[in-house]
Amino acid sequence: MSKYFLLRLFIMLPLMLVISFIAFLLLNLTPSDPAEVALRINEVVPTDQAISLMRQELGLDRPFLTRYFDWLWNVMHLDFGQSFLTRTPVLHEILTTLPATLWLAIVSLFFIVIISLLLSFLCVFTQDTWVDKVIRGIVFIFTAIPNYWLGLLLIWALAVKLDLFPVSGMMTYKSVVLPALTLSLGYIGTYIRLIRGTMLHQLQQPYVFYARARGLPENIILRKHVLPNSLHTSLIAIGMSIPKLIAGTVVIENIFAWPGIGRLCINAIFGRDYPVIQAYILLMALLFLVFNFVADLLQQYLDPRLTR
């Protein structure tokens, strides 16, 4: 088992190198000149002399591989360069906006876990009744609606019509409810299907027939025996979806003017702020690799048979 995880850790390094090279290459293949972009952002007339000086300042006059390895060396020392838009270190921009995104992701994850467990339990308890079918139908609709339209729908219903929550910003503790709910609803349907299917499979296991033979009530069997044995796969799947949840904040944060890293990324894309875009790509790649590794580790721990 230890050799397997050492191998996984060893593979993560070349993967990050490949991703970093692709991110650096793609942004260097853009039709716009980063030196000219930096000048225009800072409201400097992009004359030939100004562009030449800016290219020297950004190191664009050096060979591509030299620039890549210099950039990679700086990244390994957490130096992502300076933002074209704000002229501040990119790391500072990320550290400033990341807490808001993490708070949004944590609240969304809370909604996903609680609502998925409650509705899955209710679906299994009322299996094949109208309650089960209505719940699955509603969550299927929410899963099919794009986050953008779902966010606008929740704003219209809960903020404009009912005036329950703020429309945008991060002003009060209630401000996180609408964006977190919008972000989580697309995942809830998936996990309801997963947990419900796993619980129905567990209901066919011998220990359930033994528990029923002992006279245990059905709700006790579901709550104390079936549900805990159904959570292994679901918890691993939820853990693996955390990076996707954080990456999904890009759209949500812009709908609700949430001051997080997703909004920072969109502003960087529209402003052609290449250093910020590169840092965002690396951060998301690292999150996916790390959480996949942790989920794999957890899966091996919960089910040692997989290592045999």
Whether residue 166 is contained in a domain is answered as: yes
Q: Rounded to whole angstroms, what are the CA distances from 37 to 58, 87, 100, 270, 277?
A: 12, 13, 29, 11, 14
Q: What is the pLDDT of residue 107?
A: 92
- Most distant CA atoms of the chain, gap in Å: 87
Q: What is the average per-residue pLDDT within 264-270?
A: 87
Q: Is residue 205 domain-resident? A: yes
More confident residue, 92 or 171: 92
Is 80 in contact with 268 (CB distance < 8 Å)?
no
pLDDT at 37 over 70: yes
State how far the Cα of 158 lies from the Cα of 239, in Å rounded to an integer. 29
Asked, for residue 214, whether it belongs to a domain, the answer is yes
Residue 136 lies in a domain: yes
Q: Based on the structure, what is the number of domains in the chain? A: 1
pLDDT the model gives residue 73: 92
pLDDT single digits (tens) 202-214? 878 888 888 888 8
Chain segment 56-110, per-residue pLDDT in tens: 777 777 888 888 898 889 888 888 888 877 888 899 999 999 899 989 999 998 9
Residue 308 has pLDDT above 60, yes or no: no
Flag whether 188 is in a domain.
yes
Q: What is the DSSP string of 211-267?
A: HHHTT--HHHHIIIIIHHHHHHHHHHHHHHTHHHHHHTHHHHHHHTT--SHHHHHHH
- Domain containing 202 equals 105-253+288-307
Please check whether residue 76 lies inside any domain of the structure: no
Q: What is the CATH number of the domain that holds 197?
A: 1.10.3720.10
pLDDT, position 192: 86
Domain-located, residue 216 = yes
**How many residues make up the chain in this entry?**
308
Query: Is the Cβ–Cβ distance between 268 and 21 less than 8 Å?
Result: no
Could you give the CA distance from residue 196 to residue 231 in angstroms, rounded to a whole number?
Answer: 10
35-39, 164-168, 259-263, 296-300 — most confident range: 259-263
Q: Is the pLDDT of residue 307 over 70?
A: no
With a cut of 70, say whether residue 8 has pLDDT above it: yes
* 265 closest CA partner among 91, 254, 256: 254
Q: Which residue has the higher pLDDT, 3 or 187?
A: 187
Helix, strand, coil percentages (3-state) for the chain, rounded to 5, are 80, 0, 20
CB atoms within 10 A of CB 295: 18
Is 40 part of any domain? Answer: no
Per-residue pLDDT of 102-152, as tens digits, reads 899 999 989 988 998 888 888 888 888 888 889 888 888 888 888 888 888
How high is the pLDDT of residue 137?
87
